[in-house]
Structure formats: structure tokens, C-alpha cells
Amino acid sequence: MVPLEDDAVVLRRIPYRESSLVVHLLTRHHGVIPAMAKGVRAQNKGTARAALAGWHTLRIQGRARDWGDMALLTGAETVKSRPQLLAAPLASAAGEVMREALQRHAAPGDPQPLLFLLLDETLDRLERGDPPLPTLARALTLLLHRLGYGWQWERCGGCGAPEPSAFLSLKHGQGLCRRCGEGRARRSPALSPTLALAMRRLAREEEITLSSVQEWMLLLRLAAASIGWRGGGQPLASAECFRRMLEPSHPSTPMTSRNLVR
Ligand SMILES: [Zn+2]
């Protein structure tokens, strides 16, 4: 048996039998760990039950036969609590998109400390009240790059011309020049010069600002589609749900200014 101690965030919870829970944990040092929390749903005031229910960063203890195998969870305490996030529907929906994207791409037993840091930091931003749309669009773009699937900009993915990108091919994750991109608009959305520049800066992990909700929405759509494309071709269902919550007719849509970085 391997003893297990690490920081973790819960990606997924699956009720098991009467009182137990299987959780998929993204850990700081050991990638995704599937773990059994025996009897945890039977505890009324158990600290482990509360810890596993939220968006908190946890310190977990357990043991497993080997890395990547189902672990037995023996302890979970909250080291960074995020109570605001639980009560904010749009911020929680943004967190769900990160969970689905990571669930799709992070493999059990494969250490991905940069992915843990990205999730931890994104949840911190949402917890402190940063606007969910830019926070999520940024996080998904960084995730794409940290997974090694980042967009390629050096030259046009169609003809090889060293021109600034005017379009983005979702299928190939490459910028396209104006000539190659026109006529492929369905799979290759057009980019404004400011968005194209911002995307290149994000790829270098620099902070960016965009001036309109539409540009943030397009960045979110591009990042979510690229992640879905790379992770089996299915779109991220949670990203669609997040986008619907931003529509003006949605009952939980907050003020527009809340969705924008200023
Ligand atoms: Zn071209």
C-alpha cells in the first residue's frame, strides 16, 4: 500500500451504496486520484463530508495499492475554504466548466502540478468576486496551453504565410491569414486584431483585458471548443450551460458590468 497525502480539489462526486462516496480529486502532486470516502454521507456533521461537498482546497490523507488505483480516503480537511463561490450561481457554473475540462483531460496517476495551480488560482479569483466570464475565458485558454494544445500563431496554418492571424481554425488550433480564413467561417471564426493580440499574450501567460462582452464570449467559445475538440470531440456541456446563464433572459444573469474586467 502507498500512503497518500496531498492537496486536492474535488472534480467529481459519485454516491456509492448507502453512505459512501467516490470522489475524483485533482491533486497538486499526483494528478487525478479516484478515491473512496467510506461512510462519509452518513456523517451529519463530519468535517470530511463538509470538506468534500464544496469548492475548497483540501488536505487529504489516504492509501492506495498503486498510483492511479482507487484510493481509500482516510482524512480530508479544508485548508482553503471558498464559501462565497458556493452561493454565486454564475461563478459556480464557471467552476463546473473547469471541472469538466480537467476531468476530460487530466489522467489518473499523471502528475500535473500546473493544472492544479491553475484550478486553485481560478477558484481563488472566483471566490474573491472576479467577474466569471473573463476569469473562465482566461483559465480555459491557459488550460489549453498548459495541456500542450495551445493555438499556433507563427504562420498561417493554411498557406504558411507569416501574416498576422485574422481567423482561427478550431480543428487544427491554428491561426489563418485573411485569404485562407475567408469562406471557412463556420469552423474558423474571424478574430478582431485586439482579440488575436490578446490570445497571443495569454499564450505567453500574460494578463489581458478585452473591451467588450462579445470578445470575452468569443474567447470563451474558442477555448471551450478547442478543449472539447482535443478531448474526444464532444463540446463541454458545462460551457454551454455557462453561456446560457449569460443570456439577458436568464433569471440568474447578473449585471453586465459584473461579467467584465475593469
Ligand atoms: Zn493562409
260: CB partners within 8 A, 6+ apart: 131, 133, 134, 213, 216
Domain with CATH 2.40.50.140 in the chain: 2-80
The mean pLDDT value for 76-96 works out to: 95
- Cα(154) to centroid of ligand 1, in Å? 12
How many CA atoms lie less than 13 Å away from 254 in the CB half-sphere?
16
- Cα(149) to centroid of ligand 1, in Å? 21
Residue 257 has pLDDT above 60, yes or no: no
Identify the pLDDT of residue 254: 54
- Cα(198) to centroid of ligand 1, in Å? 20
* Per-residue pLDDT reduced to its tens digit, 46-71: 667 888 888 999 999 999 988 778 99
Domain with CATH 1.20.1440.120 in the chain: 85-259
Cell of 30: 499526483
Do the beta carbons of residue 158 and residue 177 sit within 8 Å?
yes
- Cα(60) to centroid of ligand 1, in Å? 50
- pLDDT-derived band at 43, boundaries 50, 70, 90: confident
- Cα(43) to centroid of ligand 1, in Å? 61
CATH superfamily name and code, 85-259: Recombination protein O, C-terminal domain (1.20.1440.120)
Mean pLDDT of the chain: 89
- Cα(175) to centroid of ligand 1, in Å? 9
Identify the pLDDT of residue 106: 86
- Cα(177) to centroid of ligand 1, in Å? 4
- The candidate with the shortest Cα–Cα distance to 227, out of 155, 137, 166, 158, is 137
Q: What percent of the chain has pLDDT over 70?
A: 94
Identify the pLDDT of residue 69: 84
- Cα(182) to centroid of ligand 1, in Å? 10
The SS3 call for residue 45 is coil
- Cα(204) to centroid of ligand 1, in Å? 23
Identify the pLDDT of residue 123: 98
This prediction has a pTM of 0.90
Identify the pLDDT of residue 192: 92
- Cα(145) to centroid of ligand 1, in Å? 23
- Cα(17) to centroid of ligand 1, in Å? 56
- pLDDT-derived band at 249, boundaries 50, 70, 90: confident
Higher pLDDT, 230 or 47: 230
Taking the domain 2-80, which CATH number applies? 2.40.50.140
- The candidate with the shortest Cα–Cα distance to 224, out of 157, 261, 170, is 170
